[in-house]
Amino acid sequence: MPFFVMNNIFVYIEIEGGKVADVSLELLTKGRELASTLGVGLDAVVLGEGLAGIEKELAKYGADTVWVADDKTFAPFRTLPHTAVLCGLIEQEKPQIVLFGATCIGRDFAPRVSSALHSGLTADCTQLVIGDHKDARSGREYTDLLYQIRPAFGGNIIATIVNPDHRPQMATVREGVMRKEYAAEPGKGEVRAIDWQKFVRDSDLVVKILDREIEERKIDIKGAGIIVAGGYGMGSKENFRLVHELAEVLGGEVGASRAAVDAGFTGHERQVGQTGVTVRPKLYIACGISGQIQHTAGMDQSSMVISINSDPEAPICKIADYAITGDVCDIIPKMIKYYKQNSK
Amino acid sequence: MKNLKIVVLAKQVPDTRQVGKDAMTPEGTVNRAALPAIFNPEDLNALEMALSLKDRVGGATVHVLTMGPQRAADIIRDAMFRGADGGYLLSGREFAGSDTLATSYALSCALKKIGPDVIIAGRQAIDGDTAQVGPQVAEKLGLPQVTYAEQIVEIKEASLVIKRRLSGGVETVECPVPAVVTVNASAPECRPRNAKRVMKFKGALADSEVAAAPQSEAAQRIAGRPYLRIVEFPASAVDPDPQQLGLEGSPTKVKKIENVVFQAKEARRLTASDEEINSLMVELIASHTLG
C-alpha cells in the first residue's frame, strides 16, 4: 500500500496577540479544499497558552480535529519546544500534508521540522493543488501528490515542486496569498490534547526570551480597497509624500516597491511583492514603479491597475488598465485636484 | 569566550535583482550568464556580525564555508579582503541538484569536521528566498538557533544575548553556544574591502585552483604562505552518507518550470494633460472605483 494516502492534512495554527493569525485561517480554508479533494480529514495543531475554546473558530474554517498543547512552555513562541512537539505529533499521527504560514514563526521552525523528519519543505507557495506525477527518471507513477507551486529565481520563474517519496509533504504560504472563507460545512472541531510532555526535553528549553517589544500591527495594506504605491521613480523621500497625499485623499493605503523601500523612501511594512505582502485591492495606483516581476507578483490580482510612469515601455504598462505617461510629480497633484473637484 | 571559532555560511548567487532585458533567453529561459554572480547580500550582513563578534573577543577567528563550484572561491576571497581569516569550499559533482535539505546535510557534514563554536548565516539567499538552510543545519547538528538576528547585544561566558527583528517588533534572547544564528538584512552592513588585506589575500586559491595549474606563479606563492590556502572539501573529505547528497538526497523534486510571461493586455494610454486626468477621475468616480 502506498504510504499515508488516507492520512489527514495538518495545518499549524499560529497565535498572534492572543488571536488566531489570519494566515492560519487562510491555510485552513485551503486545507479544507485539499482534504475534500483527497477525501481525508483536516486537523488543526495549536501550541500556546490560554487556548480554551479556540476550537470553535477553527471549526468554522473546517477543522475536524483540533490538537492542542496548552502550556506556558509554548508562549511566546520558541523554536525548539515547538519543533519537538510538532515532530512528535507528526510521527504519531503521520499526516500526509502539513501546512505552515510563511511568517517569522513558520519560516523559523518549519525548516527544522523538515530537517528532523527528512522530508521536503517548499517555501512561500502561491498555489497548492492535488495532482498526479510520473518521475521522469524512474518512470514511477504517483497519484494525488501535493503540487507546491512557487515563484523562484527572484520571481522570474514559477516552479512546481513535488515531494514524491517522503512524508509529510510540507509547505509554507505567505499571509494574504490564499483566500480566507468559512467552510461550507463546519468541521467537527473535536479537541484532542497533545501529550506534549513526552516530546519536550530539557535541552529544548535552553534559549531564554529576555525581552519582547512586539507592536500590534498598525499598518495593514493587505486589507485596503485602494492602494497607492510608490517606486524608485518617485525620486526622493520628499517626493514620496505625494504618494501619501494621494492615498489620503482617496481613502487608500500607501504601498511601495522593494526599490523604494531599499532607497529609504518608506518602511518595509509597506512593501508589496514577492518579498513583501500580496495585495488584491479594487484599485492599485503604481507611481514611478517600473513593474519588475518581483513587484507585480504581489499586486497583479488587483481589480484595476493605473500606472504613472515616465517610460511608456515600462513593464508595469503591460498589466495596467490605464497607463499614464509623464512625470509623477506633475500627475499626482492633478489627480488630487480633479478628484476633489469632481467628488463634491 | 576564549578562542572562539566562528564560521559564516555564505552562498554565491546570481544577482536576481539585476534582471534586465537580456536576463531571459529568446527561448524564454533564465539566462544565468547575463546575471552577475555575487556574494549573497544577507550573508554579507552575517559576515559583518561575525567580524564584529571577533573584534569584541580576543583570539577569535572567522572562516567562511560555502558550497558551490570552483568559482565560488571568489566570495571566500572577498570575505578575506573584508576581514575573514580564511575559508572552506565544499565542492563536487555529488552535491549537484541539492535542495535545501541536501544542502544543509552537506554543510552539516563539513561543519562537523570544522567544529565551530558559533555558526552565522544570512537569513536567506536571493535566488531561492527559502530561509531554510540555516535552521535545517541547526537541526542536523542538534544546535539551538536564533533567526532574524540583528545584533549581538552581549557576550557572556557560554552564551550570546541577541536581538532579533520580527515582523511587528523586536525580541531579545539568550542562547547558549554552540549555536546557529541567521542574520536579517536590517543588521549592520558589511565593512568594505580593506586595501591592505586585498594586497595580502588576492593570491588566495582553493586547492583545486592550485591543482589546475601547480606550476603557475600563483600556485608557487601559496607553498610558503599557508594563509593563502582556501581549504577545499570534496565530498569524500566530509564522510557523508552518499544517499543524502545531491539530487538523490533531495526529497523535493522540480516537476515543472514555467517562465513568467506578462499577459498581453492593452492598457488605455493617457497623457498628463489636465483634460485626460480630469476625465479619468470623473470615470473612476462614476464607476464607484473611487469614493
Assess A138–B contact: CB distance below 8 Å, yes or no.
no
pLDDT number for residue B29: 58
Q: Please give the torsion angle defined by the CA atoms of residues B39, B44, B47 and B52, in that order, rounded to the nearest 10 degrees.
A: 150
Residues 179-238 of B with CB under 8 A from A: none
Q: Flag whether residue A313 sits within 8 Å of chain B, measured between CB atoms.
A: no
Q: Any chain A CB within 8 A of the CB of B250?
A: yes
Instruction: State residue B124's pLDDT score.
Output: 95
Task: Report the distance separating Cα B121 and Cα B125, nearest Å.
Answer: 10
Highest averaged pLDDT of the listed ranges A2-6, A78-82, A274-278: A78-82
Q: What is the mean pLDDT of chain B?
A: 91
Confidence band for A140, pLDDT divided at 50, 70 and 90: very high
**B91 three-class SS:** coil
Q: What angle do CA B172, A106, B136 make, to 5 degrees?
A: 85
For B279, phi and psi rounded to 5 degrees? -70, -30
Place B264 in a pLDDT band, splitting at 50, 70 and 90: very low
The residue among A151 and A189 whose pLDDT is bigger is A189
Residues of A in contact with B276 (CB under 8 A): 324
> Over 80: is that where the pLDDT of B23 sits?
no
Q: What is the average per-residue pLDDT within A167-194?
A: 93
Return all residues near A343 (Cβ < 8 A) that are at least 6 apart.
B285, B290, B291
| DSSP bridge pairs for B213 | none
pLDDT (0 to 100) of residue B19: 58
Task: Assign B123 a pLDDT band (cuts: 50, 70, 90).
Answer: very high
Give the three cell numbers for residue A215: 507592536
Give chain A positions within 8 Å (CB) of B139: 83, 111-112, 115-116
pLDDT in tens, A318-344: 889 999 999 999 999 999 999 988 876
Record: contact A211-B278, CB cut-off 8 A: no
d(CA A9, CA A41): 6
Position B206 pLDDT exceeds 80: yes
Tens-digit pLDDT profile for residues B149-179: 999 999 999 999 999 999 878 999 999 999 9
Band of the pLDDT at B287, cuts 50, 70, 90?
Answer: confident
Q: In this predicted model, what pLDDT tens digit does every residue of A207-248 receive, in sequence order?
A: 999 999 876 656 778 778 899 999 999 999 999 999 999 999
User: In this structure, what DSSP letter does residue A185 have?
Assistant: S
* Cβ atoms A223, A251 nearer than 8 A: no
The residues facing B256 across adjacent strands are A160
Q: Which of B129, B262, B290 faces A250 most closely, judged by CB atoms?
A: B290
In chain A, positions 240-269, which contact chain B (CB-CB < 8 Å)? 250, 269
Mean pLDDT score of chain A: 92
First and final C-alpha spacing in chain B: 63
pLDDT value of residue A1: 38
| Residue with the larger pLDDT of the pair A88 and B266 | A88
Sequence-ordered strand ranges (E) for chain B: 5-9, 12-14, 37-39, 61-67, 86-90, 118-122, 145-155, 159-166, 169-176, 179-183, 205-206, 229-233, 253-259, 268-270
Q: Which of residues 160-179 of B touch A (CB under 8 A)?
A: 161, 166-176
Q: Is the dihedral of CA A131, A132, A134, A140 positive or negative?
A: positive
| pLDDT tens digit sequence for A31-52 | 999 999 999 999 999 999 999 9
Interface membership of A344 toward B (CB under 8 Å): no
B chain contacts of residue A318, beta-carbon cutoff 8 Å: 262-265, 267
* A24's grid cell: 492560519
- A 3-42 near B (Cβ less than 8 A): none
The ipTM estimated for the assembled molecules is 0.87
Across the strands, what pairs with B90?
Answer: B67, B233
Q: For residue B1, how far is the Cα from the chain centroid?
A: 26
Q: Is A52 on the interface with B (CB under 8 A)?
A: no
Query: Which of these, B104, B109, B85, B106, lies nearest to B230 by C-alpha position?
Result: B85
For residue A308, what pLDDT is reported? 96
pLDDT at A54 (0 to 100)? 96
